[in-house]
Amino acid sequence: MYLTLEHITKKFPGRGQEGLVTAVDDVSLAIGKGEFFTLLGPSGCGKTTMLRLIAGFEFPTSGRIALDERQLEQVPPNKRDMAMVFQSYAIFPHLTVFENIAYGLRIKKLSQDEVRRRVAQIMTQTKLTGLENRMPNQMSGGQQQRVSLARALVVEPKVLLFDEPLSNLDAKLREEMRFEIRDLQRRLNITSIYVTHDQEEALALSDRIAIMNKGKLAQLGTPEEIYELPRSKFVADFIGLANFLPAQAQSVQDGWASVQVGAHALRVTALPHDAAQQSALIFIRPGDIKIADENAVENILTGQIVKATYLGEKIDYRVQVDETELRVQTSDAKRRAVGEIVRLYLPPERARLIGEA
Report the distance separating Cα 145 and Cα 162, nearest Å.
Answer: 11
Report the distance separating Cα 188 and Cα 184, nearest Å.
Answer: 6
Report the distance separating Cα 86 and Cα 152, nearest Å.
Answer: 10
Report the distance separating Cα 118 and Cα 103, nearest Å.
Answer: 12
Report the distance separating Cα 275 and Cα 326, nearest Å.
Answer: 25
> Region 211-218: what's the mean pLDDT?
96
Is the pLDDT reported for residue 10 higher than 90? yes
Contact of 355 with 279, CB cutoff 8 Å: no
Q: Please report the beta strands in the chain, taking only residues with DSSP state E, as ranges in sequence order.
A: 3-13, 20-31, 36-40, 62-67, 70-71, 82-85, 159-163, 191-196, 208-213, 216-221, 243-253, 256-261, 264-269, 279-284, 290-292, 300-310, 315-321, 324-330, 341-345, 352-354
Question: In the prediction, which pLDDT does 279 show?
Answer: 67
> Region 260-268: what's the mean pLDDT?
88
Report the distance separating Cα 220 and Cα 230, nearest Å.
Answer: 10
Contact of 86 with 163, CB cutoff 8 Å: yes
What the chain holds in terms of domains, given with CATH numbers, is: 3-228 (3.40.50.300), 241-354 (2.40.50.140)
Is the pLDDT reported for residue 259 higher than 80? yes
| Alpha-carbon distances, residue 280 vs 211, 250, 273, 345 (angstroms) | 21, 11, 12, 20
Question: In the prediction, which pLDDT does 171 show?
Answer: 82
Contact of 87 with 202, CB cutoff 8 Å: no
Q: Among 23-32, 116-125, 272-281, whose mean pLDDT is lowest?
A: 272-281
Is the pLDDT reported for residue 32 higher than 90? yes
Confidence of residue 175 (pLDDT cuts 50, 70, 90): confident
Share of the chain above pLDDT 90, in %: 67
Choose among 101, 182, 191: nearest CA to 147: 101
Q: Are strands 62-67 and 70-71 parallel, antiparallel or unpaired?
A: antiparallel
- Residue 40 β-bridge partners: 196, 211
Question: In the prediction, which pLDDT does 17 show?
Answer: 64
Question: In the prediction, which pLDDT does 333 show?
Answer: 78
What is the number of residues in the chain? 357
pLDDT, tens digit (0-9, with 9 covering 90-100), for 35-66? 999 999 999 999 999 999 999 999 999 999 99
Confidence of residue 90 (pLDDT cuts 50, 70, 90): confident
The DSSP symbol for 88 reads T
